[in-house]
Amino acid sequence: MKRIMPLILATAVALGTQGAAAADKVTTLPVQFAKGMQSFSTSHTLLGYDSVNYTLDAKAEQSMRVSLSGSSNVGFNIYAPGDIPGVATALGSGSQGQDWNGILPASGTYTVQVYQVRAAARRGAQAAYAITFAIH
């Protein structure tokens, strides 16, 4: 019996972890600027640990600005081309009222990951936001 209990406990923990991870939804949305435009705005709603990865192409030395409004429970991280959210270190970050401005270090596809802060996500809260991307 002593040998079986650790195995049962390990199995229960593994199954519980798989269930939580499987419920998280990551949506990837490409950002397309209209011809002649330098900015793009959109809105979305997050639920729990769900996140949205916006992808946009830019060139080295361009200036990018990311602005977020709406729920104070929403934040964002910016990843350089080739970097993967959750694995790589973010190039920058921001939240409602804390825009990110920067000169881009490389040409390629940037990812802007939008997510809920942990406390709100853990409660399964819903959070609406609007985000604007500008590249000059």
Residue 98 lies in a domain: yes
Neighbours of 28 (CB within 10 A): 11
Q: How much is the pLDDT for 9?
A: 40
Residue 7 lies in a domain: no
Residue 17 lies in a domain: no
Residue 76 lies in a domain: yes
Q: List the CATH number of the domain containing 62.
A: 2.60.120.380
Question: Is the distance from CB of 135 to CB of 57 less than 8 angstroms?
Answer: no
What are 57-116's pLDDT values in tens digits? Answer: 999 999 999 999 999 999 999 999 999 998 999 999 999 999 999 999 999 999 999 999
Q: In the chain, how many domains are there?
A: 1
Residue 13 lies in a domain: no
Residue 1 lies in a domain: no
User: What pTM does this model have?
Assistant: 0.82
Check residue 88 and report its DSSP letter.
Answer: S
CA distances from 10 to 2, 17, 21, 45, 62 (A): 13, 11, 17, 35, 50
Half-sphere exposure of 127 (CA within 13 A, CB side): 31
What are 107-116's pLDDT values in tens digits? Answer: 999 999 999 9
Residue 4 lies in a domain: no
Neighbours of 4 (CB within 10 A): 8
Question: Is the distance from CB of 51 to CB of 113 less than 8 angstroms?
Answer: yes
| Entry field: residues in the chain | 136
Pairing of strands 63-70, 126-135: antiparallel
Question: Is the distance from CB of 125 to CB of 70 less than 8 angstroms?
Answer: no
